[in-house]
């Protein structure tokens, strides 16, 4: 079994309204040292395979075709044996 740990994040140039809302909420709660909040997705996919090289390609394809929006997001991942 392999587990892919995938981060899908907005590109730095893309506005993150959800993150901005959290920053504003924190300011209202009195946390005035918060400079920026960025909210991303963290996805774990368990794969029933032991072929690491094939899994790397598969997860890359999955990110491109389903998990990430190539216009606004970037992704990176690591794959571990479990």
Residue 22 near residue 36 (C-beta atoms within 8 A): no
- Per DSSP, 27 falls in state H
57 near a copy of itself, rule: CB under 8 A: no
68 near a copy of itself, rule: CB under 8 A: no
Residue 23 near residue 34 (C-beta atoms within 8 A): yes
Total site size for a copy of itself, rule CB under 8 A: 31
Binding-residue pattern over the window 9 to 48 for a copy of itself, x denoting contact by CB under 8 A: x---------x--x--xx--x-x-xxxxxxxxxxxxxxxx
- Bridge partners (DSSP) of residue 5 are 44, 78
64 near a copy of itself, rule: CB under 8 A: no
29-48: b (≥16 Cβ within 10 Å) or e: eeeeeeeeeeeeeebebebe
Minimal distance, residue 17 CB to a copy of itself, in Å: 14
Residues that bind a copy of itself (CB under 8 A): 1, 7, 9, 19, 22, 25-26, 29, 31, 33-49, 58, 62, 65-67
């Amino acid at each position: 079994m392999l587990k892919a740990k995938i981060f899908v994040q907005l590109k730095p140039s893309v506005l993150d309204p959800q993150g901005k809302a959290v920053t504003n909420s924190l300011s209202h709660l009195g946390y005035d040292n918060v400079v920026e909040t960025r909210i991303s997705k963290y996805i774990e996919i368990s794969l029933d395979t032991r072929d690491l090289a094939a899994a790397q390609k598969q997860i890359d394809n999955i990110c491109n075709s389903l998990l990430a929006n190539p216009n606004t997001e970037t992704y990176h991942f690591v794959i571990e044996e479990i």
